[in-house]
Amino acid sequence: MSGDILIVDDDAPLREVVRYALERAGFAVREAADGVEALAMARSQPPDLIVLDMAMPHLDGLSVCRALRADPGGGPAILFLTARDDEVDRVLGLELGGDDYVTKPFSPRELASRVKAVLRRTRPAPAPPSHQVESHGLRLDTEQRRVWSGTTEVTLTATEFELLQALLRRPTKVFTRDELVEHAYGVGHHVSDRTIDSHIRRVREKLRAAGCDAVDTVHGVGFRLDPS
């Protein structure tokens, strides 16, 4: 999943942690150190989602949310960060138009998963995909759950099928391992990088046996279909 995320927090080290987690998940990230700066940035170049600290000096997160929701169109999706234990503050944030919240301290991976979940809920639903996907000499049928390289059928496990489907549907995208975990297992599953690497290795072996060498490694990032 991709998107433009605005991080708003007066704590610079925390912003760095959030930035790292979201960039690793494939998002473009901008930062604001306070609510006044955030409001100006969100209005001049609206992001897809704001990760918004509730407690900030000058203009707090609740005030930023209230202002954006009063704008034409209602502003971007908002995920609140809060260190407060008071349930009233969290409920108020949601009532003002927040889409979700995460309480500090938090897991960076959990935060990235929550951001993805909010974006899936708030973005317009895409058109139903075709059950036939073709790229790089491969043809995948999602109804029959079968794959062919040319005229040769390639037998894949359920997980291998989901991984290859993700790559074929976005043939120019570089997928991180976390993104492939989400495609293969769903949100909230924690699978090691070694496991994903093993699945990709088996997909490669099966494709090569059928005369296709389509999966490329992007070192330090993840995998994509071979652009050559």
The answer as to whether 147 is a domain residue is: yes
80 and 183 in a single domain? The answer is no
164 and 199 in a single domain? The answer is yes
| pLDDT (tens digit per residue) in 178-200 | 999 888 887 767 778 888 999 99
103 and 22 in a single domain? The answer is yes
The answer as to whether 127 is a domain residue is: no
The tokens describing 101, both together, are: 């919240």
The answer as to whether 210 is a domain residue is: yes
The answer as to whether 72 is a domain residue is: yes
Q: What is the pLDDT of residue 152?
A: 95
Query: Angle at CA 82, nearest 5°, toward 38 and 6?
Result: 30
Q: What is the pLDDT of residue 190?
A: 77
Question: What CATH number did the domain enclosing 210 receive?
Answer: 1.10.10.10
Q: What is the pLDDT of residue 89?
A: 72
**Final residue before a domain boundary, out of 122, 140, 156:** 122
**Final residue before a domain boundary, out of 70, 87, 122:** 122
| pLDDT (tens digit per residue) in 137-175 | 999 999 999 999 999 999 999 999 999 999 999 989 999
Question: What CATH number did the domain enclosing 57 receive?
Answer: 3.40.50.2300
Q: What is the pLDDT of residue 131?
A: 85
Q: What is the pLDDT of residue 129?
A: 62
State how far the Cα of 154 lies from the Cα of 227, in Å rounded to an integer: 21
57 and 81 in a single domain? The answer is yes
9 and 105 in a single domain? The answer is yes
> Which parts of the chain register pLDDT below 50?
none
CA distances to 91, 100, 131, 209 from 94, rounded to whole Å, are 5, 7, 38, 53
Q: What is the pLDDT of residue 128?
A: 59
Range of the domain at 218: 132-225
218 and 185 in a single domain? The answer is yes
**Final residue before a domain boundary, out of 122, 151, 178:** 122
The answer as to whether 31 is a domain residue is: yes
Start-end of H helices in the chain = 12-24, 35-44, 61-70, 87-95, 108-122, 158-169, 177-185, 193-209
28 and 81 in a single domain? The answer is yes
136 and 110 in a single domain? The answer is no
* Strands, sheet with 175-176, edge to edge from the N-terminal-most edge strand: 175-176, 222-225, 215-218
Domain count, the chain: 2
117 and 180 in a single domain? The answer is no
10 and 101 in a single domain? The answer is yes
Q: What is the pLDDT of residue 228?
A: 66
10 and 116 in a single domain? The answer is yes
